[in-house]
Amino acid sequence: MNHQEGKHLLSIRALDRQELIAILDRAQYWADQQHSEDSPLQGRFAANLFFEPSTRTRFSFETAQKKLGLHVLNFSADASSVTKGETLYDTLKTIESMGVEAAVVRQKEEGILQPMAEKLNLRLINAGEGTLEHPTQFLLDTLTIRQERGSLQDLKVAIIGDIRHSRVVGSHLWGLPKLGAEVLLSGPPEMMPESHEAMQQEQVNVVPIDEAMQQADIVMMLRIQLERHQSDLYDSAETYHQQYGLTLQRAKQMKPEAKIMHPGPFNRGVEIAEELVEAEQSLIFKQVANGVHVRMAVMERAIGGMGTWQPYSKTVNV
């Protein structure tokens, strides 16, 4: 295997700038291809195990895997032996014994993937681990920003909303400073983390929402993660929208070249005005498209294919 291959992807925290750029460069290579080329991954096996709901991540991993010629096994927890008490580790060990080389896992328990990865031969890819991290979301977001702006160096990325419960933020807090960007966090006080190690970095600042709107090059809105809240925090969606949402009025405060992003799923009229989801300054559906490109690069990094990796002439600095 090439030295770039055979790697788990468990967190952005664990990756250095050089490795992040290598994955983004390869994802950009896939973004520029008109057709999938013959892949050395043809006929090999990968599995997707989602214990929490997903549309974007699950389907874009499957699309990416199929574009690379992999055989894809989609695991359904409800119809599996997990219902008989089998653990995630034993499930992974079982599919590894069948010849599955990589497993994409989304699940809510935090801190269990790393110790399992150390005991498994198959490659583990984190598709969302509780509120900890969502590494491929970070990669597709930064690929999208890089396509727009050429580089993340010195950009201000505002992340607004339910910061405390967002695993997307978990990855961005570690990754954006590595790529030279500053992070502005904003949201209701009850949705801000009590403490987060990554918030100690000087490139991370908590600011009022209107300051975030005015300063940001990228305005990234987050959904309220109701499934992780104990009780309703707002009387109505409209109350939240007016206080912390990207309203049409707030969007007018944005810099002319600033862009809107959202990892999805989005709730129109709650954290973002209905009209702004598909507005000219919105990158939301470009993010989704880039999800496939990033996940192709991540699958190659996990189980091979980067042997065909050509030096990429259009590579730009991050």
- CA angle (185 as vertex; 179, 189 as ends), nearest 5: 155
Q: Which residues of the chain form contacts with ligand CP (CB under 6 A)?
A: 54-58, 128, 137, 263-265
Instruction: For the beta carbon of residue 235, count every other beta carbon within 10 angstroms.
Output: 8
Type of residue at 32: D
What the block records as the tokens of 297 is 């690069």
Q: Are strands 218-221 and 45-50 parallel, antiparallel or unpaired?
A: unpaired
State the nearest-atom distance from the C-beta of 60 to ligand CP, in Å: 8
Query: Which of 135, 74, 70 minimizes the C-alpha distance to 101?
Result: 70
State the nearest-atom distance from the C-beta of 263 to ligand CP, in Å: 4
- CA angle (139 as vertex; 138, 143 as ends), nearest 5: 120
Nearer Cβ to ligand CP (57/186): 57
State the nearest-atom distance from the C-beta of 285 to ligand CP, in Å: 13
Nearer Cβ to ligand CP (298/306): 298
Type of residue at 81: S
State the nearest-atom distance from the C-beta of 94 to ligand CP, in Å: 25
Nearer Cβ to ligand CP (137/142): 137
Nearer Cβ to ligand CP (44/164): 164
- CA angle (21 as vertex; 6, 110 as ends), nearest 5: 60
Nearer Cβ to ligand CP (54/214): 54
State the nearest-atom distance from the C-beta of 242 to ligand CP, in Å: 25
Instruction: For the beta carbon of residue 269, count every other beta carbon within 10 angstroms.
Output: 16
